[in-house]
Each structure stands twice: as C-alpha cells, then as structure tokens.
A and B are shown apart, each in its own frame.
Chain A
C-alpha cells in the first residue's frame, strides 16, 4: 500500500499543471466542467474535464460514480486512439475525477454549419461531409464502441477531418440496438439543429455507413439499419409500460 502511494506521489511531481487561476472555463455541463489549461513543462495547452461532486448523492455513491465514469471514458478514448483512423482527443492523464486530454482546435460541426449559413462565402462540401461522417461512425461501431451522444456539438472540424469528442456516455458494445440508437440520436440532432442541410444528407450518411461497416461484417451493418427503422417508429422508446 505504501509503495503505491509513493508511486502516485512521484507521478504527481512529474505532472504539475499551472495553478487553477490560470485555467479558462470553457463550458459547464450537468456533471462536469471543461477547462483549458495553459501550456506547461513539455505539454501544449490541455483540455481538462473535471467531474464535480453532486451534493444530493450519498458521498460513497458520488465517489464511486465519478471515479468509474472518468475511468471508463478514458478507457473508451484509449481504445479509439489505438486505431489511427478514428480521431479522438488523446488522453494525457487520468486522475480520480479529472481527465486531461489533448487540446484540439477547430470549430464544432454545429458552429461550422451555422457559420456557413450566415456567411455566403463559405460553400459547404456536403458530399465530403457525409462521406467523412458516415465513415467515422461506421469505424467507431466496427471497433465495438458506441458514442451515446452523437450530436453536431460533439464533432470537431480540423480542416475537412472530423474529430469525435465527449465520450461521457460512450461504451464498449457491439449491440445492434445500441448502434441503431446511436444513429437515431444523430438523425434527430441533424433534423432539429440543422434544417439547412440537404434533404438526403442523412440517407447519404447511412449509405456510406453501410458500405464501410459492411467491410467488417455485412450482415451486422444491415441489421443495424433494419433496427434503426424500428427505433424510428417507436421514437427510441419501447411501446409502453403498464
């Protein structure tokens, strides 16, 4: 026990981010704050996702949830990072309630599409976009990961390349149902947030998705799309509960 403590402490010394007052709060969600940490030691700027305690929860439960969610998020991110074709933020360090990640610049897909609507000068390459989006999700699902919250706020644009962020609701699974729900969440997000997209945009995303996912297992991707039909009908939810 003593030796592990010593180990963590020595690690602690090698990782010394600048004091808190130099961090910038980017956003606060229901369970975490996202900070930007200025460059230090050999690091560039970092993103820090800090889960904060919830006073309504029993302290033991609170501790357990914060720890396990931070760890599981890090694990999924690392799993994705092993595959070079899926761009996600690199995990730099995991602490009890904190995830330090590589800081990626670039607008969110949501911001990018909104800006394009406002300024006439930006011409969005929709073909390229649905190609990249469909490919990205198919690769993620092929890897056995679902994102859990596929919205345009959770996709960053680096040039034309897409980066997935916020894996707070992600998990490792190859279940057809969960993959279909993942796609459905994206469909709903596109409909509600981006009425400016061409009508067949999501259909094209699905076409690419099926093509790329089929490289792995044709039968599986086909059943995911079939399941999506069912999920659409019931609006994600089951028929009823008496």
Chain B
C-alpha cells in the first residue's frame, strides 16, 4: 500500500468564496464536525452515467477579517467506462464497472489528499453522493458505497443533484456569481437561470438530450466511443464543408432533437461522414445558442457558463462566444472540473448544502433517475 504511486488528479489551486456572492456561512453547525483547525473536508462520489469519480474537497475559513475563505480540490480521480464501437453504455455493464472501481478510487483519493496520514477518514466531515438524475443501476452502486462509508466512519451523508453539482463547480471555478447556464450532456439539455433559491429551467429539450443525439449518430456512422463519441464527431466535422439541410426545431425556449437524428440517420446512407458531422453540429449548436440568447435577453444577464460534457466542444464554445460578444457579454472558459462528470463537483454542491445545515438521513438516501435541477433548494444563495 505504501509503495503505491499516486498520479496527481488535483492540479487546481484554491478558489475564493467571495467571488460567487453566496450567503454568509452560518457558524457552529450541529450536524457535522469541522477539523480542529476549522477546515471542513468532504468526500464526494459521482456515478450517474459512464464515469465513476471520487473527489475530496476542503473548505478553509478566512483566517482573519481581511481574508476570504477558499475551496480547494485535494483529489479527484475518475474511471470511465468506454463501450466498444457501435454500442452505448448499458446500465448493467456500467453499474458493474463502477462496482469494480469505486473502492480503489476512494483509496487512491484518500492517498492523494492525505499522504502519510494513518486515519485519513478521521479528517472527513461528510460523504456527498449523487442522488440523481442519471441511470438507476450506476447511481445505486455508488450510493451503496456512500452509505457504507457513512456508517463505517460515522459521518453524515449529503445527497446532491447532479446538475447542481455541475453548476456550483462552474461558479466557484470561474468566479461567475450569477451566469445564465447552458447544461449540455449525454442525458441533459437545459438553459438555466437562477431565481429565488432555485436554478430555474428556462428552456430544455422536449425529447432526447443533445449528447444522446450525438452518441447515437456516432454509432450509426461507426465512430469510436474512445475518448468520447462527441469528440470524434468534432474532429470529423472539421473536415466537412457541405451544409446539409436538417430540421431546426426551436419552440419558444425549448428545443427538440429527435427529428434531426432521424433525418441525419437517413442521410448517412448517401452523404459523407464529415459533411454529416459538420451539418449536425452547426444545426444543433445554433439551436442551443439561440435559446441561450433568449434567456440572456429575458433575464438581462451578460455572462454565460457552459457545463456538461458537450460543453467541451470547441465549435459550440466558438458559436456561443460570437453570440455573447455581440451582446457585450462574456462566456466562461471551458474547464474539466465542471464540464466532465467528476467527484469534486459533487463535493462542491454537497459542502455548500452541509455548511448551511442540509444533510441527508440514511433512510432518505435513496437515488432517483428523475430529479429536476429546480427541485433542489439552493439555500446558500440569496433569495
């Protein structure tokens, strides 16, 4: 065990809490114990889709009246289940993957966060886990691990909404206090704006998620799932030039992708893969940018934060930047801490809930595949 070599996964410095303008953290909570030096450290487990991750995050309170509290990622290892070309990740296999890796991930995270520490678990204040939304079996596998650790180490559980995890990590990592959020991933497509202690969904997909549309298209044309189908579509699209007409479906603030997928699958019989990828990206992303612009116009917000796996796409970022620039605003830079599923983002939303006294009792620690972003009350933000 001691000869085990740790590959560093926590490479970002501390993030200041004052930049995101949360409410003041209440002092002396009964629900949990901080460490003797005042630090609060939590461990977070994520496994709602094909990525299984464990994060460890530390909150250091301000040392004097002039300084400011910080959040620091101490460890953030992750394992990704990559299915063979032509297949998607199925719940059963994905759950098995998570079950096989979760214990090793917890150990390696503790090793990295607390090198040389005999009882690293004694430094933790809570276990955060993803309550939903996501795939049932993988979520359950990780929740079982979270409950076990909570009972074993006698520390509280904090259930977290996966989408809120993305948003809170995005806010703290970029310092954007109140952006319009475009959440685009394999399972979700939402345009979100904050209002009165909830992340309100302004617009969303009325059928399949954008990532799902991209993944399924990649399977049809035989693109690899390694490192991700979306990445391979992006590379192919760079070689495309012919713009094929695809359905463009924006209904008010909402979008629909299923018709596009059908059409593009049909065209796949005759057209070149690179032109299909190019046209698909151009059409899908234009729909997203248009609805984001509507949300900005409606709320008067000038800043945009893109979270979720599809947010890594350079072309989407470029289109968003063009739109936002014309409105005199700015787009937060892409960052793996909030674009790709990981344990630290679950820690970030979880530690905020914990600090404001929101914990999850063992009997309430069930998971759910359906859990809307606006169902979690964000008690750490100003009403």
| Complex Cα spacing A147 to B326, Å | 28
| Complex Cα spacing A173 to B1, Å | 67
* Given known A-B contacts A30-B297, A239-B372, A240-B371, A58 and B286 have beta carbons under 8 A apart: yes
Contact flags B182-219 to A (C-beta < 8 A → 1, else 0): 00000111000000000001001110010000000000
Task: Decide: A30 and B135 in contact? CB cutoff 8 A.
Answer: no
| Complex Cα spacing A169 to B162, Å | 32
Task: Decide: B188 and A56 in contact? CB cutoff 8 A.
Answer: no
Find chain B residues with CB under 8 A from A29 CB.
297
Task: Decide: B201 and A65 in contact? CB cutoff 8 A.
Answer: no
Task: Decide: B369 and A242 in contact? CB cutoff 8 A.
Answer: yes
Task: Decide: A56 and B286 in contact? CB cutoff 8 A.
Answer: yes
Q: Which of A56, A149, A237, A239 makes the CB contact (< 8 A) with B322?
A: A56
* Given known A-B contacts A237-B201, A241-B204, A242-B370, A30 and B294 have beta carbons under 8 A apart: yes
Contact flags A133-159 to B (C-beta < 8 A → 1, else 0): 000000000000000110000000000
Q: Which of B135, B204, B282, B370 makes the CB contact (< 8 A) with A61?
A: B282
Task: Decide: A58 and B282 in contact? CB cutoff 8 A.
Answer: yes
Closest A residue by C-beta to B187 = A242
Least CB distance from B211 to A in Å reads 12
| Complex Cα spacing A238 to B293, Å | 22
Closest B residue by C-beta to A240 = B370
| Complex Cα spacing A30 to B329, Å | 14
Task: Decide: A241 and B322 in contact? CB cutoff 8 A.
Answer: no
A60 within 8 A of B: yes
Least CB distance from A69 to B in Å reads 10
Task: Decide: B245 and A54 in contact? CB cutoff 8 A.
Answer: no
Task: Decide: B286 and A57 in contact? CB cutoff 8 A.
Answer: yes
B336 within 8 A of A: no
B53 within 8 A of A: no
| Complex Cα spacing A239 to B320, Å | 28
Find chain A residues with CB under 8 A from B371 CB.
240
Find chain B residues with CB under 8 A from A149 CB.
252
A55 within 8 A of B: yes
| Complex Cα spacing A20 to B327, Å | 23
* Given known A-B contacts A56-B286, A61-B283, A239 and B370 have beta carbons under 8 A apart: yes
Contact flags A41-62 to B (C-beta < 8 A → 1, else 0): 0000000000000111110110
| Complex Cα spacing A101 to B235, Å | 46
| Complex Cα spacing A191 to B168, Å | 30
Closest A residue by C-beta to B135 = A242
Q: Which of A57, A148, A241 makes the CB contact (< 8 A) with B133?
A: A241
Task: Decide: A64 and B372 in contact? CB cutoff 8 A.
Answer: no
Find chain B residues with CB under 8 A from A65 CB.
248
Least CB distance from A115 to B in Å reads 23
Find chain A residues with CB under 8 A from B89 CB.
none
Find chain A residues with CB under 8 A from B204 CB.
237, 241
| A-B pairs under 8 A by CB, number | 64
| Complex Cα spacing A150 to B188, Å | 28
| Complex Cα spacing A104 to B374, Å | 41
Task: Decide: A64 and B245 in contact? CB cutoff 8 A.
Answer: yes
Chain B: residues with Cβ within 8 Å of the partner, total of 34
Contact flags A214-242 to B (C-beta < 8 A → 1, else 0): 00000000000000000000010111111
Task: Decide: A55 and B372 in contact? CB cutoff 8 A.
Answer: no
Least CB distance from A53 to B in Å reads 11
Find chain A residues with CB under 8 A from B374 CB.
235
B323 within 8 A of A: yes
| Complex Cα spacing A56 to B206, Å | 24
* Given known A-B contacts A61-B282, A61-B286, A242-B135, A54 and B209 have beta carbons under 8 A apart: no
| Complex Cα spacing A30 to B326, Å | 10
Find chain A residues with CB under 8 A from B252 CB.
148-149, 169
B153 within 8 A of A: no
Task: Decide: B243 and A61 in contact? CB cutoff 8 A.
Answer: yes
B319 within 8 A of A: yes
Q: Which of A30, A54, A60, A242 makes the CB contact (< 8 A) with B134?
A: A242
Find chain B residues with CB under 8 A from A169 CB.
252
Q: Which of A56, A64, A235 makes the CB contact (< 8 A) with B319?
A: A56
Find chain B residues with CB under 8 A from A30 CB.
290, 293-294, 297
Closest A residue by C-beta to B323 = A56
Closest B residue by C-beta to A52 = B326
| Complex Cα spacing A235 to B375, Å | 12
Find chain A residues with CB under 8 A from B283 CB.
61
Find chain A residues with CB under 8 A from B322 CB.
55-56
Contact flags B279-321 to A (C-beta < 8 A → 1, else 0): 0001100100110011001000000000000000000001110
Q: Which of B133, B293, B294, B318 makes the CB contact (< 8 A) with A242?
A: B133
Least CB distance from B52 to A in Å reads 18
Task: Decide: A238 and B326 in contact? CB cutoff 8 A.
Answer: no
Kindly identify, within residues 11 to 46 of chain A, every residue whose CB is under 8 Å from any CB belonging to chain B: 29-31
Find chain A residues with CB under 8 A from B294 CB.
30
Least CB distance from B177 to A in Å reads 23
Find chain A residues with CB under 8 A from B187 CB.
241-242
Per CB-CB distance, the 10 closest pairs between chain A and chain B, nearest first, are A240-B370, A56-B322, A56-B319, A58-B282, A242-B369, A30-B297, A57-B286, A60-B243, A56-B323, A240-B372
**Can you list 22 A-B pairs with a CB-CB distance of less than 8 A?**
A29-B297, A30-B293, A30-B297, A31-B290, A56-B318, A56-B320, A56-B323, A57-B282, A58-B286, A60-B245, A61-B282, A64-B248, A65-B248, A148-B252, A169-B252, A235-B374, A237-B201, A237-B204, A238-B206, A239-B370, A241-B370, A242-B134
Assuming A30-B290, A237-B201, what are 12 further A-B pairs, CB within 8 angstroms? Answer: A31-B290, A56-B286, A56-B319, A56-B322, A60-B245, A61-B286, A148-B252, A240-B133, A240-B369, A240-B371, A241-B187, A242-B369
